[in-house]
């Protein structure tokens, strides 16, 4: 139970990733999200994904968090590829494997013409999976290497209203508590004879029995938290002081500048290329830009 709770809590160490300014981490995350959404080239997306994974090695994440990351990535990428390979609807599409033939009794009619694995669906699913995996990995790296108070200071430093930043950080802090409560309820149910892993009524009954006490505890904790922050004069003074002053290091400035520049450049290049392929705007002077977009982005 302690191990499960530690998955959601940050691991504080003295590495180059942990020492980064929280504002730099947030800006890098936003820039990377724009890049990941804009890219379509699978090789470039794989390179971006590997660069993000190298951050976990630099941060020296504990084994339990690496296993959690691996499990989430396998489920995310495999689920995306599998669903896109089966239900890819765009044309052209090439059938590489038939699961249910259109002539199969009843199932062929039920699946509206059979069920196939499409080559283009596999490729599209791999791209979508890498896109989601990159954003998920970088988000987890930021949460696992940033203390909650630093994250609050970082959001406020980026001109996010203090009440909004406080709610975001509080929601993140509540996550390990909710995980612990769910595991406690599951343990109690096992002691009462329930089998949560049994298919059918076992999963349904366990889910319903988990939901009620977990929601009740969340409401109770939320009320206690509201009374606590109001009793401390949460909005009494608009100007706040902070124990820790944030300061960008030279490495932070360089990484933030490089990420923002790369994100803006890629978005502009892809926009120009899409205008060219859509017949909206074309000029011969931008041929190198079109070549970069076609070959690498």
pLDDT digit string (tens) for 161-176? 888 888 888 887 777 7
Average pLDDT over residues 139-148: 86
Question: Inter-axis angle of helices 148-157 and 162-191, to 10 degrees?
Answer: 150
Taking the C-alpha atoms of residue 125 and residue 122, their distance in angstroms, rounded to an integer, is 5
Residue 177 has pLDDT above 70, yes or no: yes
- Inter-residue contact 170 to 218 (CB < 8 Å): no
pLDDT confidence of residue 199: 58
Q: What is the 3-class SS of 215-247, one letter each residue?
A: HHHHHHHHHHHHHHHHHCCCCCCCCCCCCCCCC
The answer to whether the pTM exceeds 0.85 is: no
pLDDT confidence of residue 197: 63
Cis upstream peptide for 92 (omega within 30°): yes
Neighbours of 238 (CB within 10 A): 6
**Mean pLDDT computed over every residue of the chain:** 82
Taking the C-alpha atoms of residue 20 and residue 33, their distance in angstroms, rounded to an integer, is 19
- Inter-residue contact 59 to 141 (CB < 8 Å): yes
Of the pLDDT bands very low, low, confident and very high (cuts 50, 70, 90), residue 226 is: confident
Distance, C-alpha 36 to centroid of its chain: 12
pLDDT digit string (tens) for 20-35? 888 888 899 899 989 8
Long-range contacts of 104-113 (CB under 8 A, 24+ apart): none
Residue 196 has pLDDT above 70, yes or no: no
Residue 67 has pLDDT above 70, yes or no: yes
DSSP assigned state of 248: -
- Inter-residue contact 19 to 201 (CB < 8 Å): no
Of the pLDDT bands very low, low, confident and very high (cuts 50, 70, 90), residue 265 is: very high
DSSP assigned state of 20: S
pLDDT digit string (tens) for 93-135? 787 777 777 777 777 777 777 778 888 888 888 888 888 888 8
First to last CA, the chain: 44
- Inter-residue contact 267 to 30 (CB < 8 Å): no
Residue 154 has pLDDT above 70, yes or no: yes
Beta bridge partners of 117: 97
Phi-psi region of 101 (alpha: psi -120 to 50; beta: other; left: phi over 0): beta
Of the pLDDT bands very low, low, confident and very high (cuts 50, 70, 90), residue 147 is: confident
């Amino acid at each position: 139970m302690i191990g499960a709770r530690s998955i959601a809590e940050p691991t504080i160490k003295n590495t180059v990733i942990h020492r980064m300014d929280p504002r730099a981490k947030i800006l890098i995350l936003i820039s990377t999200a724009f890049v990941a959404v804009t890219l379509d080239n699978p090789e470039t997306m794989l390179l971006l994904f590997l660069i993000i994974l190298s951050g976990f090695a630099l941060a020296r994440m504990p084994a339990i968090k690496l296993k959690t990351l691996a499990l989430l990535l396998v489920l995310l990428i495999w689920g995306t590829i599998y669903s896109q390979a089966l239900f890819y609807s765009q044309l052209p599409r090439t059938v590489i494997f038939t699961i249910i033939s259109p002539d199969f009794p009843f199932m062929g009619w039920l699946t509206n013409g059979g069920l196939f694995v499409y080559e283009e669906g596999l490729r599209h699913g791999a791209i979508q999976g890498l896109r989601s995996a990159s954003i998920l990995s970088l988000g987890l790296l930021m949460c696992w290497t940033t203390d909650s108070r630093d994250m609050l200071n970082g959001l406020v430093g980026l001109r996010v209203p203090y009440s909004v930043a406080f709610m975001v950080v509080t929601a993140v802090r509540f996550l390990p508590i909710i995980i612990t409560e769910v595991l406690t309820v599951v343990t109690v149910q096992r002691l009462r004879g329930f089998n949560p892993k049994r298919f059918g009524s076992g999963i349904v009954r366990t889910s319903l029995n988990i939901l009620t006490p977990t929601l009740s505890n969340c409401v109770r904790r939320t009320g206690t938290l509201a009374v606590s922050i109001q009793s401390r004069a949460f909005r009494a003074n608009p100007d706040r002081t902070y124990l820790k002053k944030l300061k960008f290091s030279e490495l932070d400035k360089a990484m933030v500048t490089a990420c923002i520049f790369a994100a803006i450049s890629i978005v502009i290049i892809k926009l120009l290329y899409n205008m060219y392929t859509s017949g909206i705007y074309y000029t011969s002077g931008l041929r190198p830009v079109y070549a970069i977009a076609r070959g690498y982005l």
